[in-house]
Amino acid sequence: MATNSSNGDTQKATKQPPMPSPLRFSKFFQVIVADNFFTGSKDNLKKWIGHPRFELIRHDVTEKLLIEVDQIYHLACPASPIFYKYNPVKTIKTNVIGTLNMLGLAKRVGARILLTSTSEVYGDPLVHPQPESYWGNVNPIGVRSCYDEGKRVAETLMFDYHRQHGIEIRIARIFNTYGPRMNIDDGRVVSNFIAQAIRGEPLTVQVPGTQTRSFCYVSDMVDGLIRLMEGENTGPINIGNPGEFTMIELAENVKELINPAVEIKMVENTPDDPRQRKPDITKAKELLGWEPKVKLRDGLPLMEEDFRQRLGVAKNN
Ligand code: UDP
Ligand code: UDP
C-alpha cells in the first residue's frame, strides 16, 4: 500500500491544518506492507525494515484495516495450488472478505485500488490465447474453485464498488510469474524444478506434460502493475509473458541450464489442471505501453543464483 506523502491526508474533507510532517511535501512514496505471513516471508522485507518511509504490519485482510493511504495494491492470497488448497475456506474468505475490506478501506479514504486477479479466471480455457473479453471455462465446485471463483468474485466486487460508489479501480490478470526470492517450497512448477535441479533430484513433470504455461519474470510483472496503477484504464488487463512452454519443455530447459545430469520423471497430476494457458497482451501493449523484456532462458539463471545462495549449493558441484 502506498501513501503519497504530499497528500497523505486524503480522508479529511473538513478544513484542518496541513500535516506537520516534513515528508508532506516530499515527492517520495511511503509504503505500508500488510501481510499475515501465511506464504510471505519477513526475509524478503528485511532490507526495508528500519527505513523511514517503510512500515510493516502483521495483518490478515479478512479483518478490518484502518489506515490512511492513497493507493492500495491488493495482492493478498496464496497463489500456489498446494497453499490455496491447504485451507480452501480461508482462501475464499481472503478473496471475498479480504477484497471487500480493501474496497471498504479504499472507499473510506478515497484511495485507488489495484487487484491482482489471475489467469485462473479463464479456467481450463476453450479460447487460445486468452483475451480479456473471454469469460472463461471454470468449474464452480472443484478443488481449485476457492482460488479461481474467489478471484472472479473479487473482480465482481471491484466493478460493483466502482459503479456504485465511484471507487477508482484497476484489475490485473496475472499469468504465471517466477523469480528470485520465491519460497523454495512454494510448490509451483518453476521453483520446484529449479530446487530439484540444484539438489540433483528428478524433475517432477505432472502428466501429461504437454500442458502449457507462459512464465513472466517478476521485474516485468512489477513494471506492468505499476503502469496499470498509474494509468487511466480500469482493466481487466492481462499481464504475462506470451512465451508458451509445455511442462516437458520447461523441464528440458531447466535440465540443460542448471543440471544436465538430472532425470525427468513423470508423476501424477491434480484435478482440473488447465491444459493450456497463454496471455493475449494486445491490451497491455496498447494501453500501458508494456510488454515483457526478460525471456525464460534469461530469467531462469537469475532465479537459480538466488536459490543456490539460499540452499547453500554452489554451481558446478
Ligand atoms: N473496512 C476496512 N477499513 C476501512 C473501512 C472499511 O477494513 O477503513 C471494511 C469494513 O470491515 C467493512 C468493509 O470494509 O466491512 C466494507 O466497507 P463498506 O463501507 O463498503 O461497507 P459497510 O461497512 O457498510 O458494510
Ligand atoms: N507442475 C509440474 N510439476 C510440478 C508442479 C507443477 O509438472 O512439480 C505442472 C502442473 O501440473 C501445471 C503446471 O505445472 O500444469 C503449472 O502448475 P503450477 O502449480 O506452477 O501453477 P498453476 O498454473 O497450475 O497455478
Mean pLDDT (the chain, rounded): 92
More confident residue, 203 or 4: 203
272 lines ligand 2 (CB under 6 A): no
pLDDT at 28: 80
Beta carbons within 8 Å of 295's beta carbon, 6+ residues apart: 243
- Distances, alpha carbon 63 to alpha carbons 57, 70, 97, 98, 296, in Å: 13, 20, 8, 7, 38
276 lines ligand 2 (CB under 6 A): no
Pairing verdict, β 177-178 and 244-246: unpaired
- Per CATH, is 28-174 categorized as 3.30.930.10? no
Task: Output the residue whose Cα is nearest ligand 2's atom 19.
Answer: 188
User: Residue 129: is the preceding peptide bond cis (ω within 30°)?
Assistant: yes
Domain boundaries, the chain: 28-174
How do residues 131-150 score in pLDDT, each as one tens digit? Answer: 999 999 999 999 999 999 99
pLDDT at 27: 65
How do residues 93-108 score in pLDDT, each as one tens digit? Answer: 999 999 999 999 999 9
Cα–Cα distance measured from residue 146 to residue 93, given in angstroms and rounded to the nearest whole number: 9
**What sign has the CA pseudo-torsion 18, 22, 28, 34?**
negative
Radius of gyration of the chain (CA): 20
Cα–Cα distance measured from residue 292 to residue 239, given in angstroms and rounded to the nearest whole number: 9
Is the pLDDT assigned to residue 7 strictly greater than 50?
A: no
Q: What crossing angle do the helices spanning 88-109 and 145-165 adopt, rounded to 10°?
A: 20
pLDDT at 2: 60
Run of H or E residues at 257: helix 247-258
**What are 205's three cell numbers?**
513433470
Whole-number Å distance, alpha carbon 169 to ligand 2 midpoint, is 30
Instruction: Please name which of 198, 154, 144 lies closest in space to residue 61, comparing C-alpha atoms.
Output: 154
Pairing verdict, β 177-178 and 71-74: unpaired
Residue 172: strand pairing partners: 116, 237
Whole-number Å distance, alpha carbon 107 to ligand 1 midpoint, is 8
How do residues 161-191 score in pLDDT, each as one tens digit? Answer: 999 999 999 999 999 999 999 999 999 999 9
Whole-number Å distance, alpha carbon 262 to ligand 1 midpoint, is 52
Q: Is this prediction's pTM over 0.90? A: yes
196 lines ligand 2 (CB under 6 A): no
177 lines ligand 2 (CB under 6 A): no
Which ligand 2 atom is the nearest neighbour of the CA of 274?
15
**What are 180's three cell numbers?**
528470485
> Is 232 exposed, middle or buried, given 0-12, 13-18 or 19+ CB atoms closer than 10 A?
exposed
How do residues 206-238 score in pLDDT, each as one tens digit? Answer: 999 999 999 999 999 999 999 999 999 999 999
Quote the ipTM score.
0.96
State whether residue 117 is helix, strand or coil: strand
Cα–Cα distance measured from residue 218 to residue 66, given in angstroms and rounded to the nearest whole number: 30
Ligand nearest to the CA of 104: 1
Residue with cell 484495516: 65
Is the pLDDT assigned to residue 157 strictly greater than 70?
A: yes
